Structure 1
Amino acid sequence: MSDTEDKAPVVETSAPASKYGDNPNSAVDAQARIVQQKGVLDDVIDGVQLGLLVILFICLIFVAILGRSLPTVFPVTKPVYDFVLSLPETVGDLPQTLCAVWEMRPTNINELTETIRMLSEWLQEALHTLPYKQCVLGFSWSMYLLETKLNIRQRDRLHEVRRPKAISSFISRQVYLEANAYGLDKSSLQLVKDFVGQIQTTMIIVYDMIPQLWTAVGVQMNAWLGLDSDYAITQSVLFFIAVMMISTVLSLPFDLYATFVVEKRHGFNKQTMGLFFSDMVKSLVLTVVLGAPILAGFLWVIERTGSKFFLYAWALMALVQLLLIVIYPTLIQPLFNKFDPLPQGELRESIEALASRLKFPLKKLYMVDGSKRSSHSNAYVFGFFKAKRIVIYDTLIEQCTTDEIVAVVGHELGHWKQNHTLRMLVVAQFQILFIFFAFSCFIAEQSMYKSFGIDGMPVMLGFLFFQYLYEPLGSLMQFAVNVMSRKHEFEADAFSKNLGYGKSLASCLIKLQIENKATMNPDPIYSAYTYSHPPLVERLNALGNPHLASKKE
């Protein structure tokens, strides 16, 4: 689109002058008004943020007026007041404290052992006195507020109607605005869903609903199966099924709205209501059939292996994960999609030639009917050792040329060639091992169970509450994994470029961005925290793409 399109001459007409398109009634202007318009949700967000600023301002006024008498007038503020008052002294003593710590460092194996013992005793004592319920609520709300703030930053970007100059040469205003409208609809749903979910979590914790459900499951287990509380593993499996069913019911309205309102409004949904519920039932059955024995095995290992259970539990989960990687594409995914051999022709020949050129052990080349549910597109590689398979969505074949699809396959083979999948698998194993080790520090803390109103120490509930405690650290680790994943994407892009598909890959990335109505101009902090793939402009820059012109709007 040329620059002159943005500066249409003013003509004598009773209609208002066009701001974004070629005429006052253009689809571009209509779409721009939709994107710019702020609804009730935006008003609520602005009101809450303004209210928080007002509260902060009032607090500052009270602090300025009352000064040192603030804790006396408002006793609830004393801990915060004392903390703030101690900061200057703490900061001033920091160099001396660091020097003292350095002098106390262990210099031999005996001192190191003693230091570890003392730290372990201190940690155990801290775990005995930790206010678990308050910590869970604090962590939960802190993460919710952080992620909501990031979502609001992203939402502000989505309300913009002017394209960044970096994409103006290959993304039309209409396409840009349609992507932003789609992003706004998803953002609205996500903000409401997160808020409702946070209220649900708070009520569950405050009113001890998890122990109540645990007790109710035990009562029904005794009534129907004649089993008492000694059968903790059976009760845990039944509890898991009950939680899964409740979660499905609670999330169902949001899933229906996302599929049949948001996705349909923007031209993506291809599902019927029957297919939607069929998929849901299949997923529930598979979760029970696979999840129940895995959970039972996990709990059995913990019961039988003592304080070192985290090593055995990790080994079990590693085997399970490898097994699922093998059976998912061959046994599970065909329950939802139809896989056909890619028809003979130019595309198949080109992919087979590329695989042969890279010595990729291609065993099967499939086309999957992704269009049965959505017009989103994808391609991926799976399989172990000498039994590799490539799967291409039929939507990708419809949207891109042969060279562009081969470029995408080259990108996926770049992940294989550079062992990205194996690296991510190893990282995942370290994460799982760390989680189980951390849980081993909490599993016998009776104070944790009591703080949530639980009689006894059922492992299932202990692990559930530990996950709440682990949430902030888990988010930090996921951020690190996303950083690693984005690095891998750049490397896979470079691999495809070195094969000679740089221009075709860039062209396909642009097409997929347009077809999927992906966000063209994400907030940098939001994308850094959330995205596992780099934004389009960053990928095109790395490819040295000539499309990235410096044209101004």
Structure 2
Amino acid sequence: MDDGEDRNGTADERTSEEEARPGHDREPSAGESGREVSEGSSREVRWAGVAAAVLGGVIVAVVGLTTPWEALAGTPVAAAGPEGDFTAEQIARSQAFDAATSVPSYLSLGLTLVFAGLLVATPLGAKVLGVLRGPWWVRVLLGVLLLTVIEEALRWPLGVWFETVLRDYGLSTQDWVSWTGDRLKRIGISTALLGGMILAVVALARRFRRWWIPAAAGAFALTVAASFVYPVVFEPVFNDFRSMPDGPLRTSLLAMAERDGVPVEDVLVADASRRTTALNAYVSGFGATRRIVVYDNLLKAPEPEVELVVAHELGHAKENDVLYGTLIGALGAAFGAILLYLVFGRVRRRAGVASIADWRAAGAIMGLMTLATFLSGPAQNLVSRQIEARADVHALDLTRDPVTFAAMQKRLATANISDLSPDAVEYVLYASHPTAPQRIALARAWAELNGVPGP
């Protein structure tokens, strides 16, 4: 360990130890970061490093051993372009839409990363938060809110640009009042959750020398709890849901779920048409909150195609993909809390704070969390694509209808104007599902393997 790391470790611990005293509420001084290293502080950093290495190894091992890397075991799926399954007009429309949305998307991403980098590498966050007054915990919450307002104000014109493109291509059905309301609701929910997490980190750092231990446990518990709460608390904020009415389709879907051995609480219809023409369905929650949700737009498709979409979602339920994703995400959140402890000592001087126990550190924590989310995205997308492919195979096994499966994929891709051939960067950064041509190629491989007519 070099001298810089030792000095950083000492200041964090001494500051936290002093602020843990009853009635202590002073701000850490910048000079504390220069105190010489004690043997104990170095030992704390080493223990945190060991814990991070062990937990990181567990995550890699679990993901590596449980991810279905081959959708069809022993059967390679040939790489496929869109030319064989989509018309030249459909391909051109997809390419034009991708070009039109890429500019505001990349600008928004770039602005987000630059803002996060400034919060981590400069004292911008500390200076902005320095204008706030009140108890330290109020200033933490107000600080997160203020920085979020600044960032979102900068990104707002790009959001308007993106929404305008969606309207030009007929994907958005919202007016500006509705769009603004939904955007503000998303910002409000994410800001409240983020503010609560950062407040917890600062509070633990002010109370405990080894704050990373309760922070990791809390991050794990919060992720699990959020998975239970989200379907019943947050989803209704954006959509109204109703049970699919009695009829042949509902009877068929519930019979298919029973035949598949998948307990489903309900099949719901979301009023997605009030904001988009895109087609979609998903499974959310687990246990008593697990339900399959179908966009009302999707009900306009032929019933066999709707059944195949739901069969895909039953694949997620049968494999407990939501629970699996929740547990992996919870382990990742715990790993992130430990990593924050290890990394913050390296950036706090640049961020203009002496310790993570300083309420002005909220900006730097916010920036680090944003950067961590971005850096972990490609790995999450990689695993997600494999899990989605497994659910596709499940749908094919359950329905044994690869021709309708391919027709359904074409309908989804053209209605949603999906990117049929994303470049490498887009595929890594954004693709949480295989492309439509890849999914159709999978159906052909499945048909050949099972000796049935293929698409």
TM-score of the superposition, structure 2-length normalised?
0.74
Check whether the contact 2:351–2:361 (CA below 8 A) recurs between aligned residues: no
CA–CA distance in structure 2, aligned partners of residues 387 and 310 of structure 1: 31
Residues 78-98 of structure 1 show CA distances to partners (whole Å, capped at 9, x for unaligned) of xxxxxxxxxxxxxxxxxxxxx
CA–CA distance in structure 1, aligned partners of residues 199 and 121 of structure 2: 28
Correspondence for 2:37: none
Correspondence for 1:506: 406
Correspondence for 2:235: 333
* 1:124 maps onto 2:28 in alignment: no
CA–CA distance in structure 2, aligned partners of residues 165 and 485 of structure 1: 19
Which amino acid in structure 2 is aligned with residue 283 of structure 1? R
CA–CA distance in structure 2, aligned partners of residues 480 and 316 of structure 1: 23
- Post-superposition offset of 1:207: 6.3
Correspondence for 2:306: 405
Correspondence for 2:452: none
Change (3 A) 1:329 1:322: same
- Post-superposition offset of 1:379: 0.7
Change (3 A) 1:277 1:481: closer
Superposition RMSD on alpha carbons, in Å?
3.3
Q: Which has the higher contact order (CA 8 A, sep 6+)?
A: 2
Which amino acid in structure 1 is aligned with residue 162 of structure 2? A
Check whether the contact 1:376–1:395 (CA below 8 A) recurs between aligned residues: yes
Of 374, 384, 396 in structure 1, the residue corresponding to residue 286 of structure 2 is: 384
Check whether the contact 1:380–1:390 (CA below 8 A) recurs between aligned residues: yes
- Specify the SS of the correspondent of 1:263: helix
- Specify the SS of the correspondent of 1:380: strand
Residues 190-249 of structure 1 show CA distances to partners (whole Å, capped at 9, x for unaligned) of 2443455566566667763212111112xxx2xxxxx3xxx3222111101111222222
- Specify the SS of the correspondent of 2:130: helix
- Post-superposition offset of 1:512: 0.5
- Specify the SS of the correspondent of 2:266: strand
- Post-superposition offset of 1:530: 3.6
Correspondence for 2:144: 240
Check whether the contact 1:301–1:313 (CA below 8 A) recurs between aligned residues: yes
- Over the matched positions of the two proteins, sequence identity in percent amounts to 20
CA–CA distance in structure 2, aligned partners of residues 179 and 353 of structure 1: 36
Correspondence for 1:441: 342
CA–CA distance in structure 2, aligned partners of residues 188 and 373 of structure 1: 22
CA–CA distance in structure 2, aligned partners of residues 361 and 330 of structure 1: 18
Check whether the contact 2:219–2:334 (CA below 8 A) recurs between aligned residues: no
Residues 26-77 of structure 1 show CA distances to partners (whole Å, capped at 9, x for unaligned) of xxxxxxxxxxxxxxxxxxxxxxxxxxxxxxxxxxxxxxxxxxxxxxxxxxxx
Correspondence for 2:13: none
Larger radius of gyration: 1
Correspondence for 2:73: none
Which amino acid in structure 1 is aligned with residue 258 of structure 2? S
Residues 435-472 of structure 1 show CA distances to partners (whole Å, capped at 9, x for unaligned) of 111222244x3x74333333665455546536756877
- Post-superposition offset of 1:525: 5.4
Check whether the contact 1:439–1:463 (CA below 8 A) recurs between aligned residues: no
CA–CA distance in structure 2, aligned partners of residues 430 and 340 of structure 1: 34
CA–CA distance in structure 2, aligned partners of residues 203 and 312 of structure 1: 28
CA–CA distance in structure 2, aligned partners of residues 214 and 204 of structure 1: 11
- Specify the SS of the correspondent of 1:454: coil
* 1:482 maps onto 2:381 in alignment: yes
Correspondence for 2:442: 542
Correspondence for 1:367: 269
Correspondence for 1:186: 101
Q: How does 1:295-306 map to 2 (within 5 A)?
A: 295-306=198-209
CA–CA distance in structure 1, aligned partners of residues 407 and 323 of structure 2: 29
Structure 1, 263-272 or 538-547: larger mean CA deviation: 538-547
Check whether the contact 1:269–1:374 (CA below 8 A) recurs between aligned residues: yes
CA–CA distance in structure 1, aligned partners of residues 218 and 202 of structure 2: 11
Correspondence for 2:216: 314
* 1:177 maps onto 2:92 in alignment: yes
TM-score of the superposition, structure 1-length normalised?
0.62
Q: Between Structure 1 and Structure 2, how many residues are aligned? A: 381
Structure 1, 333-342 or 518-527: larger mean CA deviation: 518-527
Change (3 A) 1:237 1:282: same
Which amino acid in structure 2 is aligned with residue 432 of structure 1? A
Of 214, 229, 236 in structure 1, the residue corresponding to residue 129 of structure 2 is: 214
* 1:422 maps onto 2:304 in alignment: no
Check whether the contact 2:284–2:322 (CA below 8 A) recurs between aligned residues: no
Which amino acid in structure 2 is aligned with residue 256 of structure 1? V
Residues 470-517 of structure 1 show CA distances to partners (whole Å, capped at 9, x for unaligned) of 877765543222221111111111111111243322221111011111
* 1:267 maps onto 2:170 in alignment: yes
- Specify the SS of the correspondent of 2:208: helix
Change (3 A) 1:181 1:428: same
Structure 1, 321-330 or 484-493: larger mean CA deviation: 321-330
Q: Which runs of 5+ in 1 are unaligned?
A: 1-118, 129-163, 222-226, 549-553
* 1:343 maps onto 2:258 in alignment: no
Change (3 A) 1:292 1:317: same
Of 226, 241, 254 in structure 2, the residue corresponding to residue 324 of structure 1 is: 226
CA–CA distance in structure 1, aligned partners of residues 236 and 170 of structure 2: 25
Check whether the contact 1:127–1:442 (CA below 8 A) recurs between aligned residues: no
- Specify the SS of the correspondent of 1:381: strand
